[in-house]
Amino acid sequence: MSPASGKLNIWTVDDGRAGLAAQTLGLAEAVNTLVAANIRTHVVRRKLFTFGQVRKPAAGMNAPWPDICIGCGRASIPYLQAVKEWSEGRTLTVQLQDPRRKSALFDLVIPPEHDRLEGENVFPILGAPTRVNSGTLADAAKEFSKDMARFPRPRLAVMLGGNSHHHKFTKKNCQRLIKSLQNLHGSKVSLLITTSRRTPKHVIKSLRRQFGKKDQAWLWTGASKDGPNPYFAFLQAADAVLVTNDSTNMLAEAASAGRPILLFSLKGKDTKFNRLYESLAGKGLARPFTGSLATWPVEPLDETTRAAKEVVRRLYLRWQESGKT
């Protein structure tokens, strides 16, 4: 804790990919809402990843060492281990996702429940930590209010992932999606569509061709001409969210926004993901997409806050045991 500010010092460590950074920063920000904190982000290069210990800090990593260090992704693992050593064990190391290493290497591991990881220092949550909360949604709504006013209700946010180890966004999937969205658009549903870095080019081209210049359709693909990212604004404004079934992050973010989830299935399957879908459906958060807009009452999922409380609890417990508090 910084003596000057009286705030916790938190570091995040990931390889810079949006999905990983959203998790580390999301958890750090949630801790900050519980206990005031200074947050520093660190991006480590994936090609320098090694399963062994790193010998020296990455750029920007220097003493004083943080109270909490949150990592996500394989590239972060050796750095969390190193920070634990450099701080002589004072830093609470928190690893997100299943590290596929011994959990004892970290002070706390926060994996998704569908990984079924167990251990004394393992704290599973439904989905993944997110940056989605009432504050981020309100800020986004304010930032994009004039643009959003052009899109009358009902509004369907369309959050598209893409190809992964277990799923593939095929041309057949794309044709089915486009046809469904055309029908919805024709029935006066406003479409708020966003793609991701994994969305195939053929899907983006089809979306631009069909919806790039239409009224009541807002398409954001990350191109410079698309302007600032309205992702949070889409979640805030939507009456329901169509999400492809390849992304834990997007599913968790839609659930955290408290919006009904319409699950669009890509080619492929995975037992772990099936457990995630079942959990979301069991809580009344998600249903399969059938081609039509469906809405129902949903309570926002707040697993990020639950994880943050566990991080703070373990930090304070450590301080008590060491006589710091």
Same domain flag for 71 and 179? no
Distance from C-alpha of 316 to C-alpha of 215, rounded to nearest angstrom? 53
Same domain flag for 265 and 310? no
Is 2 among the domain residues? no
Helix axes 248-256, 18-34, angle to 10 degrees: 40
Instruction: List pLDDT tens digits, range 3-32.
Output: 556 899 999 999 999 999 999 999 999 999
Is 1 among the domain residues? no
Same domain flag for 80 and 155? no
Helices (H), 118-217: 134-143, 145-148, 171-186, 201-211
**Mean pLDDT (whole number) for 178-203:** 96
pLDDT at 155: 98
Same domain flag for 138 and 278? yes
Q: How many domains, the chain?
A: 2
Is 48 among the domain residues? yes
Strands 261-264 and 240-244: parallel
Same domain flag for 120 and 182? no
Instruction: List pLDDT tens digits, range 197-214.
Output: 999 999 999 999 999 888
pLDDT at 212: 86
Instruction: List pLDDT tens digits, range 247-278.
Output: 999 999 999 999 999 999 999 988 888 999 99
Distance from C-alpha of 221 to C-alpha of 185, rounded to nearest angstrom? 19
- Boundaries of domain holding 140: 134-288
Is 293 among the domain residues? no
Sign of CA dihedral 19, 25, 31, 33: negative
Instruction: List pLDDT tens digits, range 20-65.
Output: 999 999 999 999 999 999 999 999 976 544 455 676 777 778 889 9
Same domain flag for 154 and 206? yes
Instruction: List pLDDT tens digits, range 121-173.
Output: 999 999 999 999 999 999 999 999 999 999 999 999 999 999 998 899 999 99
Distance from C-alpha of 260 to C-alpha of 155, rounded to nearest angstrom? 12
Is 3 among the domain residues? no
Question: 42: which strand partners?
Answer: 13
Is 256 among the domain residues? yes
CATH number at residue 195: 3.40.50.2000
Residue 1 has pLDDT above 90, yes or no: no
Residue 68 has pLDDT above 90, yes or no: yes
Same domain flag for 253 and 195? yes
- 20-37 core/surface letters (b: 16 or more CB in 10 A; e: else): bbbbbbbbbbbbbeebeb
Same domain flag for 188 and 262? yes
Q: With contact defined as beta carbons under 8 Å apart, do 31 and 90 qualify?
A: no
Same domain flag for 220 and 148? yes
Is 295 among the domain residues? no
Same domain flag for 110 and 58? yes
Task: Calculate what percentage of the chain has a pLDDT beyond 90.
Answer: 83
The half-sphere exposure of 55 on its side-chain side, counting CA atoms within 13 A, is 1
Give CA torsion, residues 225, 136, 60, 42, to 10 deg.
-80
Same domain flag for 121 and 139? no
Distance from C-alpha of 136 to C-alpha of 232, rounded to nearest angstrom? 7
Same domain flag for 166 and 257? yes
Q: Which residues lie closer than 8 Å to 174 by C-beta, 6 or more apart? A: 200, 202, 203, 206
